[in-house]
Amino acid sequence: MTILQILKYPNKNLTKKSEKVHTLNKEIINLAYSMIETMINNKGIGIAAPQVNVNKRIIVIAINEKIKPIILINPIITMKEGVTINTEGCLSFPDTFVKVKRSKIIKVLFIDLQGKKNLIFADNLLSVCIQHEINHLNGITLYDKI
Ligand SMILES: [Zn+2]
């Protein structure tokens, strides 16, 4: 596991659409663990692969230290409900905070590190964080939310 460098806006890779992960190989697994280490090292609560210069659909999230980080590969939002407005930050936009409107509750389908399909039900901070990171996979950054 390695602490990776985080791309900062306006790096062009942050605005690219990321590709699906087709094969869950060692490289992808190592990348996911390195993303967790990078996120924790930078005191973030979520990070998306394009932020570490890999345009693949992988996000990792740990909304607090007590909960084991989660790794979502090829995440897709299958249900959204309600509205919530929160002030968000981003490791690619140091010292920038933006009020963003998002869905309050979401259901997300994803592949886990074992290659199994999984469904997660998220609300509050977890929901907001997943939506923020999925935005990164589509090249959407906080800049687009200003
Ligand atoms: Zn971000």
- The residue-averaged pLDDT of 62-89 equals 95
Sign of the CA dihedral with 78 first, then 119, 88, and 125 last? positive
Query: CA 110, CA 119: separation in Å to the nearest integer?
Result: 6
What are 91-137's pLDDT values in tens digits? 999 999 999 999 999 999 999 999 999 999 999 999 999 999 999 99
pLDDT band of residue 1 (cuts 50, 70, 90) is confident
What are 69-80's pLDDT values in tens digits? 999 999 999 999
Structure tokens at 86: 């929160």
Residue 136 alpha carbon to ligand 1 centre in Å: 7
Query: CA 121, CA 44: separation in Å to the nearest integer?
Result: 21
Q: Locate tokens 């998306």: which residue?
A: 48
**Mean pLDDT across the chain, nearest whole number?**
96
What are 130-142's pLDDT values in tens digits? 999 999 999 999 9
- 133 given a catalytic annotation: yes
Residue 19 alpha carbon to ligand 1 centre in Å: 18
Query: CA 125, CA 115: separation in Å to the nearest integer?
Result: 26
116, 72 contact by CB (below 8 A): no
Provide the whole-model pTM: 0.97
Q: Is 41 helix (H, G, I), strand (E, B) or coil?
A: helix
